[in-house]
Structure 1
C-alpha cells in the first residue's frame, strides 16, 4: 500500500465484494500492469491483499497529479465505479481522466448511456460488445496467464494428477452450473453421444449457487436415469482448474449468454480444442475448423453434430489442440492485453485528453 500517491498513475476501483468476471480481471491484470511499469493501484473491497492498493482516506491525494504527469487515470469497469469518478473529476475538480471497460452485450439503460457518455475513453472487450455502444471505443480482447494455462507434458500423468482413469478420454464443460451457462445442453449432448463412444467420459467442473441447486439436481437425475452416472462426472469447484484443463481432450462452451467468456481461452491455451456457442467473444477467439467449432446457441442438435467428430477421431482433437495452443501464444497472453491498455493510458497522458 503506497504511503502517498505521487508515483501512482492509475486507480482501478473495485466496489463490489462479490466475486465476478470483473474481479478476476482486476486480480490478473493489475500485477502484470505494474510489472510493465504502468503503476496501478486498486481501491475497494473484495480483492486479495497482495494487490497494490490505496485507502479511501487517501482520496484527497488525487488532487495532486502523479510525478511527471498532468493527470491520473481512473479506470472503472462497472456503473458504480464510473459515477464516483465523474464526481471526483467534475465536482471536486480533481485532475483525473476516466476510462471505462465495457463487457456488456445488450442495449444499455439511459443511466448507463449517460455514465458512458461522460468517460474520456472507453475500452470494449470484443467487437460485439463495441457494437452495443453509441460512441467510439478501443477494442482490447482479454488475455490469460499462459504460464498457468499450458498443455500437459504428459496427458496420462495429467489425468492421474486429478484422479481420473487413464483408460478414457475426456470432454469437459467448466464454469457455474446454471441454465445461462448451458450446462443442460452439455449434459443432454453427452447422454446422446457417450453410449456410442465407450472410451470417453465427460466432466462438469464448477459449482451451483443455492439459487441454481435445483437445476443441478435435475441434471444429475437425468444422468442417473440414462445410466451414465459413472461417465458424466460432476466434480465441483476447484482452485487448480488449470490441472483439470490439461486432463481434457475436448472442451465444450455451451453458454446461452456470455459477456466475454474466458473458458475457451483457458482450454485452448492448455492445448484443448473447443466447441462453443456463438456468444460473447467466442467468434473472435476460436478459429473455425482450426482450433474448434462454433454453433448456434441453444441448439442441441448442432452441439451433438459438432462434438461427435472429435470423439470419433482422436487425431482431430490432437491436431486442433496444438493449433489452439499456438493461436493463444501468438495472440492472447495477458501481457498483450496489459500492453494494449497501457497504450490507451499513454495516449491520455500524452494528450491530457478529455472527451
Structure 2
C-alpha cells in the first residue's frame, strides 16, 4: 500500500509540471499571434490615409495593384423595358346599348359584326314609360299653344283699349310657365334621339347607336320583356384603334415619355411586330405592385388586337449619349453617392455623382463625371476606412 501511494504522488508531480509547460507554450503562441495581428492591422492602416475626400496611398501600398480602372467615355444608350399588357377598347369608341325603360322588344335592326353609324337603329321596343313621356310632351305642346293664343289675344285687347293689364300679365306668366314645361318634356324625349318634328303619340321607341363602329355583341331577343336597369342588349365598338394597358415599375417611369414609340408582340402572331405610341402615363402609383399604368395607342385596322387579349409591350427610349459605370464602382454614404476617381499613381478622389437608374449591371451617371477621367471600377471597397 505504501509503494502504491509513493508512485501516485510521483506521478502527480510530473503531471503538474507538464500542464504548466503547456500553458507557458500557449501564452507564448497567443502573444506572438497578437503581435502579428497588431502588425497586420498597423500595416492595413498604413496602406493609405484619408485627407478630406482624397485617399493617399502609402509608397509601400500594394492596393493599386488590386484595382481595376476604367476611363470614362460617352456611350450610346437606349433603354429597353419589357412588360405584359392587356388590350382594351378606347372608352370613347365603345358603347354598351341598354334599354332606357322597362318594356318589350319588338324588332331588331342589326346582326353581329354589322357596321353602324351614329343614329342607326339598333332595336325597337314598346314601353309604358316612353308612352307617358310622349303624352307629357303632347300635353305640354297643346298647353303651350293655348297659352300662346291667349297671350296674343290679351295683347290685341289691350292694344284696342278694351283689355286689362292685369290679365295680360297673368297671360304672360302662364305662357312662360308652359314654354318651360314644353322645353323640359322635349328634352326628355331628345335623350333617346327622338325627332320631335316626327314623333307621334303611341309610337314605339327606337334605340339607336351613339357612335360609329361594329356590333361586337348582340343579345337582342324579339319578344323579350326587359325590366329597368337590364343588361346591355348590344355593344358597338370602333376597333380601328385600341389601347394597350401596360404596367411599368416606378423606378423605370423616368425613362418613358408620352408619344414615345412602343413595339407590341402577340402570342397569336409571334413573327409580327406592331407599333404604337404612349398615349398617357398615369400619375398614381399602384401601392401593391409599385408600378404605374401606361396607355399605349395602337392602330388596329386588321383587328388582330382584340379587347381582353394579353400582349408583350416593348418600351424603347430614344437613343442618347450618356455615361455608364459598373455598379461595383458606385458607393453610398449619408452625403450621397460617389465613385473613386484616380488623380495620379497614389491619389484617388471620392467624387460625388448623381445617377438616374440602373440597367444591365451598369449605372447611368447624370452629373459628376467627365469624359476622359479614370475611375476605379472594381476594388474601390479596399479604400473604405473602417
TM, length-normalised to structure 2 = 0.16
| Structure with the higher strand share, 1 or 2 | 2
| Structure with the higher helix share, 1 or 2 | 1
Identify the structure with bigger relative contact order (alpha carbons < 8 Å, sequence gap 6+).
2
Which protein has the larger Cα radius of gyration, Structure 1 or Structure 2?
2
